[in-house]
Amino acid sequence: MTGSNFVVGPGCGQSQPDRDLDPPERYNATGEYLETYFDLTCWTLVRQDGRFVHQHAVDAYAAQHVGERMRPITTAFALIGLYLAVERGYTGRQVQLVHMKIGRRRDWPRLEPPKDRGELTVMDILLAATDAKKEEMLMRPTASVRQTREDRHRWVRETTEKVQ
């Protein structure tokens, strides 16, 4: 969506300068917003922390930007990761280990995008002044996006408990 040299991301509603980037094939996002997400993932990976906060960024982004061409496993893993982080207090590394454990399953359901995408965006995190504040803010969209998927909480809980 364009207007006055800005694009508004369909997944999160974030407005950014239009750089005429192609939208990603699998995410419900603009190319501009996907590039901002890549900036966040660079920050999370450079940190090289043992808790692996990168996983929380990946899961929150995928859950917030569900697109019609997204593979069902991507959405399922995102929701499972958010559940484990928010409800169980798992680190990103612990979430990643669960994803590896359940990754062999092949019958993932197609989960529809949420009506509400949550309040905070990738840009909110990137604009935080310190690394500690960025990390704190990263957990807010994780919780916020999780709340938008109340319709899938039971499925996520039951699916996760089967493999634990």
Give the start-to-end residue ranges of the domains of the chain.
2-163
- Angle, helices 153-163 vs 92-102, to 10°: value is 80
Query: What would the mean pLDDT of 2-13 be, rounded to a whole number?
Result: 72
Mean pLDDT of the chain: 83
User: Could you report the per-residue pLDDT of 65-115, keeping only the tens digit for each?
Assistant: 888 888 999 989 998 998 898 889 999 999 999 999 888 887 888 877 766
Gap between the Cα atoms of 64 and 138, Å rounded? 13
Percentage, residues of the chain above pLDDT 70: 84
User: Could you report the per-residue pLDDT of 20-79, keeping only the tens digit for each?
Assistant: 889 888 888 888 989 989 999 999 999 888 889 999 999 988 888 888 888 999 989 998
Query: Full-prediction pTM beyond 0.95?
Result: no
Q: Identify the band that residue 117 occupies on the pLDDT scale cut at 50, 70 and 90.
A: low
